Amino acid sequence: MMANHPILEGKTVIVTGAGIGIGKAIALYLARKGAFVVASDVKEPTTTASAIQSEGGQVLALAADVTSANQIQAIIDATLRQRGTIDGLVNNAGIYSSIVPRPFEEISLEEWRQLFEVNVFGLMSCCQAIVPHMKANGGGRIVNIVSGTPFKGIPYMLHYVASKGAVVAITRSLANELGSSNILVNGVAPGFTLSEGVLENTVQVDRLREVSRNARSLARDQVPEDVVGAVGFFLSDAADFITGQTMLVDGGSYFN
């Protein structure tokens, strides 16, 4: 078994958007740290599940679109049937890598709605569906994958930046609201990360790769594996008096 520091042994954690990119890297890392991972994505994340299983980790791979309350409920039911409790939720599903940067006048309200439907409302419905089970279980952890963009006021993807700004605000207010239920809510904000999806978007790569690298104290490309440790930390006992925070994981680009 691979978990040489099993800081999440015995924990059951749902990761949304776990099929590729940052979500896949998070799922793999949490399994390495001893968690039972429920990996979900729009399509069943079979590659993620095989990668975890090949290392001896524990995983349940399920298809669920976070914009569908029924599909979210189905993964909760399946998790509870198999595990009995849900200790953690990592809200990673989001629309990012398909975005083509452009002036805000060219981004239609329909695109704003579609993006908020996933990045904000989908995240909120996952929280609403899972929190009652965490309350019944005496507590839990929620980690929201945010972005450095609202901190820096990055231009040309205003709908995306606004959606992640909303999630920073949700992280703070939800932490306050759920503190008395021993549910801790934190955010992890990656910088521009070369996930599989991003690498396929040549416009984003051309526009953002070099400028992001040069803006960092640690002046190199950011990869999905750079993000995972902060997520594991917020899910672990080491973070049991930290809530409402958003940690920038960007190689020292924006100082929060």
Q: Kindly state the smallest distance separating residue 189's Cβ from ligand NAD, in Å.
A: 7
Give yes or no for a contact between 25 and 225, defined as CB atoms under 8 angstroms apart: yes
Which tokens is 206 given? 């051309």
Q: Kindly state the smallest distance separating residue 210's Cβ from ligand NAD, in Å.
A: 14
Give yes or no for a contact between 118 and 23, defined as CB atoms under 8 angstroms apart: no
Residue 32, number of CB atoms within 10 A of its CB: 22
Quick one: how far is CA 136 from the chain centroid? 24
Instruction: Select which of 29, 96, 156, 160 is catalytic.
Output: 160
Give yes or no for a contact between 30 and 5, defined as CB atoms under 8 angstroms apart: no
Q: Kindly state the smallest distance separating residue 95's Cβ from ligand NAD, in Å.
A: 6
Which tokens is 166 given? 């909303």
3-class SS at 79? Answer: helix
Of 55 and 221, the one with the shorter C-beta distance to ligand NAD is 221
How far is Cα 235 from Cα 249, in angstroms, rounded to an integer? Answer: 16
Distances (CA, A) of 60 to 63, 79, 228, 242: 10, 8, 19, 28
Which value, in Å, is the radius of gyration of the alpha carbons in the chain? Answer: 17
Of 195 and 236, the one with the shorter C-beta distance to ligand NAD is 195
Residues near ligand NAD, by CB under 6 A: 16-17, 19-23, 41-42, 65-67, 92-97, 118, 122, 145, 147, 190, 192-193, 195, 197-198
Of 19 and 88, the one with the shorter C-beta distance to ligand NAD is 19
Of 34 and 122, the one with the shorter C-beta distance to ligand NAD is 122
Q: Kindly state the smallest distance separating residue 193's Cβ from ligand NAD, in Å.
A: 4
160 is catalytic: yes
